Structure 1
């Protein structure tokens, strides 16, 4: 049964907009969307406070977003940076290395993208390509993989010892959900460009990805632990990512009540 609070939500501007965006009328979903947007706005406001603290105090932050193809990494980053000053942040999504970069130390091109004073850098995939994507697809040799795995913990220690805050987020989806998202991408006229040759092989190589992923989790937690986020539900994953970042960075004037953990289910029950 719909409560008075639910009716007020539907009668609001955001509620009406949520209803109008639907192909089939679903009041429960409209209410859920409005509550999600309100929660997102609060976290975005708090993220701006964090960013201002970083800028004012010449801090440096690196945020790694990893996960299988179509896990929602890019979408989460877009929501997090939506209201941040463009000059204060950078999003790094590197293409495959060029001929010069292939001849360099593997970490070199990532070092060149690390933050300056007062800056937050978001990596949409990172040096961990070599931990999973590259060995699965035979883009690197076993020796190159082994060298990477032997160096990555100390590399991250050097980053942290230099005063950079480093957070690593992994967006985890099921095989069934990945397949559903691929079908959605392929059928979309504005998304199908995203479907790559690597994506085409992802489902058939699912078990190989899993094996390398589990090794990555086992071997690369020494200095910077992974935060694994259940990402089958994009809205919930974005909220969880936001909350984790805001909790982990020790910025001043932190509003604990605003960033306290709330699953999407608890938001719906407010």
Structure 2
């Protein structure tokens, strides 16, 4: 039987689901998004402005992108397992502080993949004095004139700190390249320089963890639609997201090249299939805990990683490189 805290978490999630369902039928103004195109996905029209999400796309959302499960993880199971893992995270953070370790975990993925929620689940009960979330805005004019990595280095951990990057220097390999915010030469230089940069960090003793949070096409559209029609989530939707509606394949090509060229033994990419956010969050935390040796680690509480949900490198997505 779930304890009181687990029951409370489950009740909160049930309530949030019910509220979101009611909001989906309430008109929500969305100023500043610009012209929103109607697109076609697998033969089905999709209009972000229509408060009704297409039933055919809803039916395919969870399975999109080759997702292996037909149902999401049960909420009660998720709440129970998450609580056990968060207790382990508190232990791990205490050891990082006592041992003077430095940990960087960066999270990349398509818009609406679930990066922020995963980071939030990790950070929720950690001591905020030594566990920071970094989500940098677009670079200033001064920053655009600096060494590309400089503004990220400024946010790196000192001894005893966790730093969780909600997007990172890999912006250059994704949105900057796809949207034309960098030159082809800057892009090629980045792919080469980042290998040397990360190798230097690891050799200096930093624990560097790189997570790509992956979702399918229909699931991304569903989450965009949820944001568009929920007054508490509308701020998450930007003109860039709207523009990305027609550029899914371009982002896929950028993702594939990035993973192939920057997956290294010293700093591998860890891929999490995240059509079900619950399973993805749990396995990302399990992996993170596995990279830190700390006293009183409870292997039973941590459990085992689902090999269908989380794996290493582009080969996990069928891209051919291990």
**TM superposition score normalised by structure 2:** 0.74
Q: Return the match for 2:248 from 167, 191, 206.
A: 206
2:76 is aligned to 34
| Whole-angstrom distance in 2 between the partners of 1:10 and 1:84 | 21
Q: 2:105 aligns with which of 35, 60, 63?
A: 63
The 1:139/1:86 distance shift into structure 2, 3 A limit, reads same
CA deviation after TM superposition for structure 1 residue 101, in Å: 0.4
Tell me which moved more, 178-187 or 248-257: 248-257
2:138 is equivalent to residue 96 of structure 1: yes
Task: Report the aligned-residue RMSD.
Answer: 2.4
2:133 matches 1:133: no
CA distance in 2, matches of 1:73, 1:61: 18
Q: What is the distance in 2 between the residues matched to 1:168 and 1:203?
A: 26
2:303 pairs with 1:260: yes
Aligned with 1:52 (options 91, 94, 107): 94
Q: Give the direction of change, closer, same or farther, for the CA distance of 1:261–1:104 in structure 2 (3 Å limit).
A: same
More helix by share: 1
Which ranges in structure 1 are unaligned for 5 or more consecutive residues? Answer: 1-7, 266-270
- Give 1:250 deviation, angstroms: 2.7
Match of 1:224 among 267, 278, 283: 267
1:35 Cα shift? Answer: 1.7
Q: Secondary structure at the match of 2:271?
A: strand
Report whether the alignment pairs 1:14 with 2:7: yes
C-alpha separation between the residues in 2 aligned to 1:13 and 1:55? 28
Q: Note if contact 2:106-2:211 (Cα within 8 Å) is conserved in structure 1.
A: yes
In the superposition, relative to structure 1, how do residues 10 and 91 fare at CA in structure 2: closer, same or farther (>3 Å)?
closer
Q: Deviations along 1:72-95, whole A, 9 cap, x unmatched?
A: 000111111111111011100001
Aligned match of 2:289 in 246, 253, 258?
246
Q: 1:148 to 1:257 in 2, by over 3 A?
A: same
Question: Is the alpha carbon distance of 1:87 and 1:150 closer, same or farther for their aligned partners in structure 2, counting shifts above 3 Å?
Answer: same
1:152 matches 2:194? yes
Q: 1:77 to 1:19 in 2, by over 3 A?
A: closer
The 5-angstrom pairing of residues 96-115 of structure 1 reads 96-115=138-157
Aligned equivalents of 2:107, 2:237: Cα separation in 1: 19
CA distance in 1, matches of 2:13, 2:193: 52
Structure 2: tracts of 5 or more residues without a match: 20-70, 309-322
What secondary structure is seen at the aligned counterpart in 1 of 2:164?
Answer: strand
Deviations 1:12-38 (A, max 9, x none): 9818836973649xxxx9x92222111
TM-score by length of 1: 0.87
Give, in whole Å, the separation in 1 of the partners of 2:95 and 2:13.
38
CA distance in 2, matches of 1:257, 1:179: 37
In 2, Cα distance between equivalents of 1:249 and 1:20: 34
The 1:12/1:108 distance shift into structure 2, 3 A limit, reads closer
